[in-house]
Amino acid sequence: MTKKLNDKRVMRTKRLIRDTLTELMEQKGFDAITVKDITDKAMINRGTFYLHYQDKYDLLEKSEAEFFSSLEQIVRDLNPQVAISLTSQNEPFPVIVKLFDYFQETAPFLKALLGPKGDPKFQVKLKEMIKTLMRQVLLSQVNQEDLLVPEEFLLSYISSAHVGVVQYWLETGMQKSSEEMTLILAKMTLLGPGHATGLLK
Amino acid sequence: MTKKLNDKRVMRTKRLIRDTLTELMEQKGFDAITVKDITDKAMINRGTFYLHYQDKYDLLEKSEAEFFSSLEQIVRDLNPQVAISLTSQNEPFPVIVKLFDYFQETAPFLKALLGPKGDPKFQVKLKEMIKTLMRQVLLSQVNQEDLLVPEEFLLSYISSAHVGVVQYWLETGMQKSSEEMTLILAKMTLLGPGHATGLLK
DNA sequence: AACAATACTCAACACAACGTTGATTATCCT
DNA sequence: AGGATAATCAACGTTGTGTTGAGTATTGTT
């Protein structure tokens, strides 16, 4: 007998718990949250929580995993060829635009996790993913021997920069569109044929 | 009657507690640490901890404050003129070199706080400080009207990038000297007269 | 519509860490 | 040497943890 995965009760409860987690993380930050906090706010029995998650860390892990799974799906969906191809500097990378679209959809969750009360591990994972993307771009655009800086430092620099800009964008209310953000990032990043010409007039 | 600040017992205990915090943060991360963990490892009575700190969050705050206080001292010590003056691309910024020197001294603490089990608030504060430094450099080097990208995005980009590189440097065992690191950063950063010429041959 | 499965509730449990207290001992400063 | 105070120790109630067993409510299935 396999467990029933489509039970309305289970789905309702899980979504309730995860939404409550997001709300509480914005308010008090993850480590100040107790399981009791979550179940009180979600108005479910504390025992119910333990029916679905081992503890609050398990909940966080599974929520993050779900996020990254969607993110990887988005990257994978786009034809890799198209994905890593650079366009002219006045047209945004298609992948990055899609990523920003998804960031916007999941903004409350993302903002909480990337904010000052968030999870540093999550930030590391996100950087790692961007690093992988950028490594492909780098390989396709630049001869390794031409680099005057160790590749890994450059990738750390760029991926951290990108995450930092996303954080700033989230904090300031996401005033710019996905396309605008992608263009801004492209101009600041030393990659691609138009590199170093995008920043100054 | 003012409290005596130079009591050997107090200094010994405080240093013991803070060093133990650093060690434990590397091992299990801040939020997994209990006061009992700290006092057990430091072999002091649990009550003694509460004689000096309200709770573990208070301890973390005061440790961070001490770090930033030293950091600001270093920046302030250097003549501001010298501090923000850029040198040729083959000579490191003097301030940045000094900062890396201090990072190296406090490496265990810093590594713990900037690592995957660290404190996101600390990262924010460090970025903020670098942002302030970079804002000065930006003002002295570039005409605002010439920027094709909003200033705050650029500053977020650069400061996050710098912190990210420091993280990578700490994680990988600080194999490069402060001078080397400063040069690498300068080459990757689009600021100063030699900008955009440092990355590729 | 009725039944079986199971998600959820509820009350209770032992356990661990918290933050505080009062009394005692050890160490430091002058 | 003597007064001040830091550190120890044992004990306290409180809060959250993770688990259990028994009852209730919802759900998917036939």
Interface predicted TM-score of the whole assembly (ipTM), two decimals: 0.89
Q: Which residues touch strand C (CB under 7 A)?
A: A 1, 3-4, 7, 9-10, 12-13, 43-48, 51-52; B 4, 6-9, 12, 34-36, 46-47, 50, 54-56
Q: Which nucleotide is nearest to A8 (CA to C1')?
A: D27
Say how far apart CA B161 and CA A170 lie, in whole Å: 17
Say how far apart CA B128 and CA B99 lie, in whole Å: 15
| B147 contacts in chain A (CB < 8 Å) | 199-200
- The answer to whether the beta carbons of residues A198 and B148 sit under 8 Å apart is yes
The pLDDT tens digits for A97-117 are 999 999 999 999 999 999 999
Burial A64-83 (b: 16+ CB within 10 A, else e): beebeeebeeebeeeeeeeb
Which residue among A119, A153, A164 sits closest to B157, beta carbon to beta carbon?
Answer: A164
Q: Is A200 helix (H, G, I), strand (E, B) or coil?
A: strand
Is the CB of A195 less than 8 angstroms away from the CB of B197?
A: no
| B119 contacts in chain A (CB < 8 Å) | 120
Angle formed by the axes of helices B151-171 and A151-171, nearest 10°: 130
Average pLDDT for chain A: 88
Amino acid symbol at B29:
G
Q: Give the DSSP letter string of A163-197.
A: HHHHHHHHHTT--S-HHHHHHHHHHHS--STTTTS
The pLDDT tens digits for B153-196 are 999 999 999 999 999 999 999 999 999 999 999 889 865 443 44
* Greatest distance between any 2 Cα atoms in chain A: 67
pLDDT for the residue numbered A130: 95
Residue among A142, A149, A151, A177 with most chain B CBs within 10 A, to mutate: A149
CA torsion sign for A146, B138, A116, B30 is positive
> Is residue B110 very low, low, confident or very high in pLDDT (cuts 50, 70, 90)?
very high
pLDDT for the residue numbered A77: 86
**β partners of residue B147:** A200
Low-confidence ranges of chain A (pLDDT < 70): 1-5, 79-92, 190-201
Question: Could you give the domains of chain B?
Answer: 7-53 (1.10.10.60), 57-201 (1.10.357)
Residue A147 φ/ψ, nearest 5 degrees: -70, 130
Say how far apart CA A122 and CA B64 lie, in whole Å: 22
Say how far apart CA A29 and CA A23 lie, in whole Å: 9
Q: Is the pLDDT of residue B120 over 80?
A: yes
